Amino acid sequence: MTVGFKDLREFIGRVESLGEMRKIDGADWDLEIGAITEVAASSPGCPMVLFDNIKGYPPGYRIVSNLLHTESRLAIALGGDPDLRGVALLKKWKDGIGAVQDGPAPVVVKDGPIQENLITGDDIDILKIPAVKWHELDGGRYMAGSLSVMKDPDTGWLNIGIYRLQVHDKITYNLMIEPGKHGKLIREKYWARGQNCPVAICMGQTPALFLAGTLFAPAGTSEYKIAGTLNGGPIEVLPGPFTGLLVPATAEVVMEGEIPPPEVEARMEGPFGEATGYYASSPSPEPVVKIRSIMHRNDPIIQGAPPMRPLPGLWHFPVNFRAATLWNDLQKCSIPEIRGVWQHGYGMMVISLKQCYAGHAKQAALIAAGSRSAHIIRCIVIVDEDIDPYNVYEVMWAIGTRCDPERDIEIIRDGYSGPIDPLPTMEQRAIGDWTTGKVLINACRPIFRRTGFAPVVAISPELREATVKKWGKLLK
């Protein structure tokens, strides 16, 4: 694998050289940056946007949004061909995270760009770091797209996750983490010991590390090793001065602090426009982070990755790429002949396979339903190997022509979900019942009729290849 990008700035420079970046000067943090981001995301090409001279913030502090919101930019971030698309792009991602055990461990260095500035004590003021009210109904300003680093006190495992941060005052953020997420489990271990939970919040880092933070990786898995595998080389890290947690040496901003138990301090958090495209969770008291030190580069660039509902031109990479971890889960369970996996929005996961035995499709559907990667997934569809799971038109055609509703559709109950799911009732929310039903759809041709099933109206692969070879240039 080719070596990727040493930091966020190098990647931004590459995107700018391709003509995919737009610069905005003087935008307001109050809704304007969020609105520009959404308009750009829904426009043809979905350009990356770099905001400078942000209203109400010191000069030099910048925000970049829509960083990885096209398939071409994702392919570049993964060190691949910018023309890579669909399941082929997902497979590159899958193979990278699947090889994480043999991936490069992070390298501890003595110094890095993140150490250009250090702020401690009474000089700490997180209100100087640009935070945005991204959506009109948001309850305040948020850091959307930061990484939180925590260490499991039992095992020493470093977990890196993306959780939402709402700004309150000069030293205080909320840190809202959904049930079942590793960061939530780790901080509860500290609280059970009567301790505050140390945390390092990192803003602006190499794209591979941000992508690693979006995963539902198994507990004990190193996101630093995942990022190193994807980036083609180890991530350089150094210990933070307050917590000692290893943080990216080339990050733009790193804030260290501690999370006291909620009975010591909690603040009202939310609402916030969430990844499902709704305001599903209600404002509630959430734990806080007290910031004790800030490191930052000169003229730092904060990555903004606000959730948005599906829009024309916008490619929802964190959602779609969770299909890669499901693909690996299926392989770990020895499900053979998986040809591709794709996730359409927050609602539907599609698995393409070549049926090898009776019950093969059902087996794959049940394992998928139990995977952490099927978080809030309502519909799991199994299709034959001739169906591209990336192509929603082919998937719906398979459902409409190969699925007998009486025989091939089943509903399971009490599936894994969370508070950002808009469907749980008020009664469920009151008791923390974050479960949902899931529908399993077998849209494969019946296995015992595969050879006798009606032929598909489509040219053969051989004729397609010959046609493209002879006439393809005229058709581009």
- State the DSSP code for 414: E
pLDDT higher than threshold 90 for residue 289? yes
Residue ranges per structural domain of the chain: 8-304, 317-466
What are the DSSP E strand ranges found in 142-260? 142-143, 147-151, 158-161, 164-169, 172-176, 197-203, 236-239, 246-248, 253-259
Backbone angles phi, psi at 442, to 5 degrees: -95, 100
Contact 1, 103 (CB under 8 A): no
- Predicted confidence (pLDDT) per residue in 73-116, tens digit: 988 888 777 888 888 888 877 877 776 667 789 999 999 999 99
- Contact between residue 184 and residue 192 where contact means Cβ atoms under 8 Å apart: no
Is the distance from CB of 41 to CB of 268 less than 8 angstroms? no
Residue 426 has pLDDT above 50, yes or no: yes
pLDDT reported for residue 374: 85
pLDDT the model gives residue 317: 61
Nearest Cα residue to 222 out of 163, 140, 155: 155
Contact call for residues 68 and 77 (beta carbons, < 8 A)? yes
Distance of alpha carbon 247 from alpha carbon 230, whole angstroms: 18
- What per-residue confidence (pLDDT) applies to 463? 93
Beta strands in 358-468 (DSSP E): 379-384, 409-416, 435-443
pTM of the model: 0.88
pLDDT in tens, 201-251: 999 999 999 988 888 888 888 999 989 988 888 999 999 999 999 999 999
Would you say 204 and 8 are in contact if contact means Cβ atoms under 8 Å apart?
A: yes
**Of 96, 407, 101, 374, residue with least CA distance to 216:** 374
Q: What is residue 320's predicted lDDT score, i.e. its pLDDT?
A: 65
The residues facing 151 across adjacent strands are 158
- What type of residue is 148? S
Is there a common fold for 8-304 and 317-466?
A: no
Structure tokens given for 461: 């692969």
d(CA 103, CA 233): 8
Above 70 in pLDDT, residue 450?
Answer: yes
| Interatomic CA distance for residues 394 and 74, integer angstroms | 24
Q: Which CATH class is domain 8-304?
A: mainly beta
Looking at domain 317-466, its CATH class is: alpha beta
In order, the DSSP letters of 88-104 are: HHHHHHHHHHHTGGGSP
Whether residue 158 has pLDDT greater than 70 = yes
